[in-house]
Amino acid sequence: DLILLMPVRVTQAKNIELALQVAAILKARRLRPRLIVTGPPDPHDAGNMAYYQSLLDLRRQLQVENELRFVYESGPEAGQPLILDSQAVAELYRVSDALFMPSRREGFGMPVLEAGLLGLPVICAHMPAADEIGGGEVMAYPPESSPEEVAARILAWAEASPTHRLRQRVRRNYTWEAIFRREMIPLLAGNWAE
């Protein structure tokens, strides 16, 4: 129902635990969200790997293993990490509904800039980088917002956006899989109208 892209490395400054809590709230409201974290943790930093492990534990605890995916854990073999190149990240921008940046702080704000160039809506905490680049064109929320408040803002945007509703309709009704199920399976089963 909703694909939110987080093109960030796994660090505490990115506030990924908030994203996990938001995913759990959206799921509880009968939405099927997908949050995609593209960047890896730093495998050479024990503190960073411990943070990553705490996120995996929280994800399991909140039962949002399918709703929030770390690309890093999706290597070709179990336990083997996957690091995306810039072309793959660009494709994720293309298929996502919005950029989600719950970061506590950002340097320059490159993801906001990239989203702006691609016409992708941005949902983020107020921070100087996003405010400067996006001005009033980003959906910014106060950094002290609760996960419930952030989820409510995301839901309000999704329900009000005709572009998002069209994307949902196309994904639901006009993928090859949907067309095959709707048109071809009845035909192959001999259940077509005379």
Distances (CA, A) of 44 to 14, 15, 72, 79, 145: 18, 20, 15, 16, 32
Count the neighbouring beta carbons within 10 Å of the beta carbon of residue 107.
Answer: 8
Whole-number mean pLDDT of the chain? Answer: 90
**CA–CA distance, 120 with 90 (Å, rounded to integer):** 12
**CA–CA distance, 159 with 2 (Å, rounded to integer):** 11
* Beta-bridge mates of residue 34: 3
76-87, pLDDT tens digit by residue?
787 778 888 889
Instruction: Take residue 20 and report the two structure tokens written for it.
Output: 């996990």
163-178, pLDDT tens digit by residue?
888 888 888 888 888 8
128-176, pLDDT tens digit by residue?
888 888 888 899 999 999 999 999 999 999 999 888 888 888 888 888 8
**CA–CA distance, 51 with 58 (Å, rounded to integer):** 10
In sign, the C-alpha dihedral spanning 68, 5, 32, 183 is negative
Answer whether 0.75 is exceeded by the pTM: yes
**CA–CA distance, 89 with 122 (Å, rounded to integer):** 16
Mean pLDDT across 55-67 = 97
> Are the beta carbons of 150 and 166 closer than 8 angstroms?
no
In the chain the first and final C-alpha atoms are separated, in Å, by: 35
